[in-house]
């Protein structure tokens, strides 16, 4: 990949701060730096805790989108799941209403400060609304120990889970959990998400037998082309997910899902519905449970409306330059 000069990146940059509808991963405003390049728009929005080495992969993905474009798709629409944050069970209908036509829902569980009873009530509410033909998956974001996960999934399995996403934090724990679930006769598939942040991670997940499914995101893997290579080398079924992106960043995830040779699961790419605003008009939102494939352009009026304060814009510009240095010094690590 040829990385544009720093001045070219800064000239193409727009920094926004978009409020969330509900707190998600502790985030109440989603900040992003958008790049307006010759091939289209790219999004650079690594979470604030990521250092330059990790965040530089997100910059590589944004540069790919804005300066190179994406591989040709093999499908023109991508099925997506609804995403249900760790809300009270009585709030579930309102959340699902923002995902019209979605027949798969991912439900957040293991939220700090909540109990398993809260998870059971939330998942039950989702199952009730989707009916028996819908698919329900849970996502613990690594919040359980192996024993906690085994106990929780045994209880949640009554709701016919499609799979459990990142029930434990480490790859070895995921492996141990799969073995424990098998010994206990609990038939719940395990998906690895947070364990996959670098190109070599899915291969380690595969080699240790730590998961049945891998959840991949474009930005942490360095772009659509690199993510395709990683999924191919891993050899496990893949689900494409987003990282609380705007419509610009979400379009990159759709491009990856559209280019995969096989796509057996709905993808976690409907998260623009969790934002109070967006940078595109219309937003990239599910229609009849699917998203269209194609580049998304930011709207200038919306860029102005959600423009980040000057101090935050400067912070993101400095971060961009730090990541640019990593890319030009040998690529993301």
What is the residue whose two structure tokens read 């590589």? 60
Catalytic residue among 127, 178, 198, 217, which? Answer: 217
In the annotated binding site for Mg(2+), the residues are 139, 165, 193
First to last CA, the chain: 15
Question: Rounded to an integer, what distance in angstroms lies between the CA atom of residue 166 and that of residue 291?
Answer: 25
Closest by CA to 224, choosing from 260, 268, 192, 270, is 260
Contact (CB, 8 A) for 152 and 116: yes
Cα 244–Cα 37–Cα 219 angle in degrees, nearest 5: 30
Q: Where are the beta strands (DSSP E) in the chain?
A: 13-24, 27-37, 40-44, 77-79, 82-84, 104-108, 135-139, 161-165, 190-192, 213-216, 238-240, 290-292
Active site residue 217: yes
DSSP-H helix ranges across 45-107: 52-63, 92-96
Q: Return binding residues.
A: 139, 165, 193
Q: Name the nearest CA neighbour of 67 among 327, 281, 280, 263.
A: 327
Quick one: 48 exposed, middle or buried, by C-beta within 10 A (0-12, 13-18, 19+)? exposed
The answer to whether the beta carbons of residues 331 and 41 sit under 8 Å apart is no
Show Cβ contacts of residue 223 under 8 Å, excluding neighbours closer than 6 positions.
1, 60, 61, 63, 64, 65, 252
Closest by CA position to 35, among listed 74, 61, 66: 66
Please name which of 272, 281, 268, 247 lies closest in space to residue 102, comparing C-alpha atoms.
268
Positions marked catalytic:
108, 217
């Amino acid at each position: 990949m040829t990385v544009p000069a720093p001045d070219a990146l800064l000239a193409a940059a727009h920094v926004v701060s978009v409020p969330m509808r509900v707190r998600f991963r502790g985030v109440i405003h989603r900040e992003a730096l958008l790049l307006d390049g010759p091939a289209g728009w790219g999004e650079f929005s690594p979470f604030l805790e990521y250092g330059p080495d990790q965040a530089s992969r997100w910059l590589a993905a944004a540069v790919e989108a804005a300066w190179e474009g994406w591989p040709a798709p093999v499908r023109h629409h991508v099925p997506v799941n609804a995403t249900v944050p760790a809300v009270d069970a009585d709030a579930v209908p309102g959340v699902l209403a923002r995902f019209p036509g979605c027949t798969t829902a991912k439900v957040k569980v293991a939220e700090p400060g909540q109990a398993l009873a809260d998870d059971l009530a939330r998942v039950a509410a989702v199952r009730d609304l989707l009916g028996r033909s819908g698919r329900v998956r849970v996502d613990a974001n690594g919040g359980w120990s192996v024993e906690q996960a085994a106990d929780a999934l045994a209880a949640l399995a009554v709701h016919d889970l499609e799979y459990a996403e990142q029930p434990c934090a480490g790859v070895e724990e995921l492996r141990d959990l799969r073995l424990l679930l098998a010994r206990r006769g609990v038939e719940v598939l395990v998906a690895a998400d947070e364990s996959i942040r670098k190109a070599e991670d899915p291969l380690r997940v595969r080699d240790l037998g730590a998961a049945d499914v891998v959840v991949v995101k474009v930005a942490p893997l360095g772009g659509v082309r690199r993510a395709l290579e990683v999924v191919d080398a891993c050899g496990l079924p893949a689900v494409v997910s987003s990282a609380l992106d705007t419509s610009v960043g979400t379009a990159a995830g759709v491009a990856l899902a559209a280019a995969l040779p096989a796509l057996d699961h709905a993808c976690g790419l409907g998260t623009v519905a969790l934002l109070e605003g967006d940078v595109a008009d219309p937003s990239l939102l599910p229609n009849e449970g699917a998203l269209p494939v194609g580049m998304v352009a930011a709207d200038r009026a919306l860029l102005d409306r959600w423009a980040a304060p000057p101090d935050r814009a400067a912070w993101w510009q400095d971060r961009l330059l730090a990541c640019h240095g990593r890319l030009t010094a040998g690529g993301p690590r």
